[in-house]
Amino acid sequence: MAFYRQLGNIPPKRHTQHRDESGNLYYEELMGEEGFSSDSSLLYHREIPSAIVDATVWELRDQSTTPNHPLKPRHLKLHTLFPESTWNETDVVTGRRLILGNADVRLSYVVAAAPSPLYRNAIGDEMVYIESGEATVETVFGTLEACEGDYVLIPMSTTHRWIPKGDKPLRAYAIEANSHIVPPKRYLSRFGQLLENAPFCERDLHGPTAPMIAEGTDIEVLVKHRTSAGIVGTRMVYPTHPFDVVGWDGCLYPYTFNISDYEPITGRVHQPPPAHQAFEGNNFVICNFVPRKVDYHPLSIPVPYYHSNVDSDEIMFYCGGDYEARKGSGIGQGSISIHPGGHAHGPQPGAYERSIGAEFFDELAVMVDTFRPLELGEGALACEDEAYAWSWAGRGPKQ
């Protein structure tokens, strides 16, 4: 990420002796990306961070996927996946249901009111969007407070846990990468500063406010990782609590970014999807569609033109407002639309003409475009609206 931050108790020179008040050495952990040739942070632990006393299998929830074949657009109703009776027994980590996935990214959804176990994703970064609710996210770097509209970026291999709070359950949309998730290069200077033309800046990214120390022995951490057989889990047991960092500094750490701080890029005529981009990973991008003034050419058509994104699958998660282009399709809060490469897609019938003269769209959606086809997870198969594919024509296949 290249935005430097320093918290807690660190020595004036890295890789030198650093001792507590009793003269005991702290233990350095250099957490770095790309073989220590990219961003990193240096953490100072009270105990040896490598020490484990047990490792057993953690059985993950169903990670299998099914090809989108025959190819068709789809509508998923995520709010039907978690009845209210399940919320108090569900946590943000183990309760996730896989919606879509490929070798680059996996999209999951969960509604949770229970605290999660300690967790570490050793496959890639996670970007978790909070549809509603609030949570404290405790991490080895310190504590984050997350609320509705927040993206929570958890760097790869960061030990953390989710603690929902407040009266509402936490509704979370998890984007799990097989890579790192970063701002687009076109928004950054050659030294890594966000440029003036970027739709957000460093002030909008909120990292931990202070290190945290937790006590305990024989502490379990769930680790998601990859083998030749696919994605698997391991339950590691540490002799002391991994939250024992007294200080750290560097450019690699978790943070929150609220979608309301995203400043939309608009124009006289309709802007293409890259104008809405916020982040990117390997072979995928994340875009924000937020409330905004729309096209102001006197002959503009504010809703999207019909389009064939020939290299991508387009996944839109509808999380607020009233999405003008999808009126009449059954799509609403908590819906996902899947518009795959190989199928031209665009506004529902009537929306094209109806949008003429509009000056403002009150919509909120998170889009993920992938550059390899996505397959359907068990969660998608459990909540599909079978009629959506035929909604532009007004009728389905002949029986």
Q: What span, in angstroms and rounded, lies between the C-alpha atoms of 383 and 364?
A: 21
Is 270 annotated in the active site?
A: yes
- What are the distances in angstroms from CA 78 to CA 110, 127, 361? 9, 18, 23
What does the pLDDT look like over 266-296, one tens digit per residue? 999 988 889 999 999 999 999 999 999 999 9
**What are the tens digits of pLDDT across the range 37-60?**
999 999 999 999 999 999 999 999
Q: Are 45 and 29 in contact (CB under 8 A)?
A: yes
Q: Is 346 exposed, middle or buried (0-12, 13-18, 19+ CB in 10 A)?
A: middle
Q: Distance between CA atoms of 358 and 348, rounded to whole angstroms? A: 16
Per annotation, catalytic residue among 18, 270, 339, 343: 270
Q: Do residues 301 and 351 lie in contact, with contact meaning Cβ atoms separated by under 8 Å?
A: no
Amino acid 1: pLDDT: 56
pLDDT at 23 over 60: yes
> Confidence band (pLDDT; 50, 70, 90) for 316?
very high
Query: Tell me, what's the pLDDT at 264?
Result: 94
More confident residue, 132 or 329: 132
> Can you give the pLDDT at residue 347?
87
pLDDT band (50, 70, 90) for residue 330: confident
Q: In order of start, what are the domains of the chain with their CATH numbers?
A: 50-64+82-242+250-257 (2.60.120.10), 261-388 (2.60.120.10)
325 — pLDDT class (breaks 50, 70, 90): low
**Annotated binding site for Fe cation, which residues?**
307, 313, 345
pLDDT tens across 158-215, in order?
999 999 999 999 999 999 999 999 999 999 999 999 999 999 999 999 999 889 999 9
Over 90: is that where the pLDDT of 76 sits? yes
Question: What is the structure's pLDDT at 213?
Answer: 96
Question: CB count, 10 Å around CB of 189?
Answer: 11
Q: Which helix (H) or strand (E) holds 379?
A: helix 378-382
Backbone angles phi, psi at 379, to 5 degrees: -65, -40
Which residues does the annotation place in the binding site for homogentisate? 323, 345
pLDDT at 396 over 90: no
For 316-335, letters b (16+ CB in 10 Å) and e give bbbbbeebbbbbebebebbb
Mean pLDDT across the chain: 95
Return the percentage of the chain with pLDDT > 90, whole number.
Answer: 85
Torsion of CA 101, 106, 107, 108, to 10 degrees: 100
pLDDT band with cut points at 50, 70 and 90 for residue 265: very high
Is residue 5 within 8 A of residue 249, CB to CB? The reply is yes
Q: For residue 323, which of 286, 367, 369 has the smallest C-alpha distance?
A: 367
Whole-angstrom distance, CA of residue 115 vs CA of residue 211: 20
- Give the pLDDT confidence score for residue 42 in this predicted structure: 98
- How distant, in Å, are the alpha carbons of 34, 50, 59, 143 from that of 124? 12, 20, 19, 20
List, for residues 108-163, the tens digit of each pLDDT value.
Answer: 999 999 999 999 999 999 999 999 999 999 999 999 999 999 999 999 999 999 99
Find the mean pLDDT for residues 19-38: 96
Known binding residues are 307, 313, 323, 345
Residue 304 has a pLDDT of 87
Q: How far apart are CA 91 and CA 115, in angstroms?
A: 6
Q: Which amino acid is it at 191?
A: F
**Is residue 328 scored above 70 in pLDDT?**
no
